[in-house]
Amino acid sequence: MGRGLGLIFYRIGSKRQHVARTNLKLCFPEKSEQEIEFLLKENFKNTGIALFETGMGWWWPDWRVRKHATIEGVEHLEKAHAEGKGVLMIAMHYLSVEINCRSIGFGHPMVVFYRPHNNQLMEYFQFRGRGRSNKYMLGKRDVKGLIKALRDGEVCVYLPDQDYGRNKSMFVPFFAVPDAATTMGTLIFARQPDIETVMVTPTRNDDDSGYTLTISPPFKDFPTGDDEQDLIRINQELEKAISYKPEQYMWLHRRFKTRPDADAPSVYK
């Protein structure tokens, strides 16, 4: 049903289709037109599935969500906790993020840094749904709150893969785009004392049997103090994670809307 709904969006959602196609062409210039269109259509199918997964993540009981989740690399969180360290968990906008946010919270309830929804009703459901199985939510402006949580030894999830504007960003490569606006927020949090930085990749299994969340070992020698190189490294790690199942990633976001030259025409025109 979700795939069918996604195909309907593919046919009628010309604006979002254009954004996603532009992103795919910019990120994968080596792919042919046919390959791009195939990936685009698969991405819309997965977007349709994600609408149902959002409801599952927000309203399913714990036992039902837990039944469908496999988490790999939990030992990295356990080790950090045993050492009294906070964990900055970097994630990316895979389409199954809503249900997987619930899943990972069962063993290690997290503090979630997020952007509040503009619609008050949607914000109510989003806040309530994402907070289930986890400790609490922090709005994107509450930087001090997340720093405090890290220093208190919490597992804090942060998603730095989208375009958050020019303020406190640096232009570094992301896939084949040499100058993608990349938030400095990751480094602000990662440089706090007694912090481990890990990455989680949340994907839907190919056979639709459930979800696999893979937590990486802590990043070594990070951050280094060289902000540009550190952000390049983060983007490279994000690229690896996204490339694992690119059809499941949220390509509908205007990732390259902020350009180094503020007067340059939009890549989405």
Residue 10 reports pLDDT greater than 90: no
Supply the pLDDT for residue 178.
Answer: 98
In angstroms, the Cα distances linking 150 to 9, 54, 88, 94 are: 40, 27, 7, 24
Lowest mean pLDDT among 16-30, 45-59, 118-132: 118-132
Q: What percent of the chain has pLDDT over 90?
A: 80
Supply the pLDDT for residue 215.
Answer: 97
Considering only residues 98 and 87, tell me which one the structure prediction assigns the higher pLDDT.
87
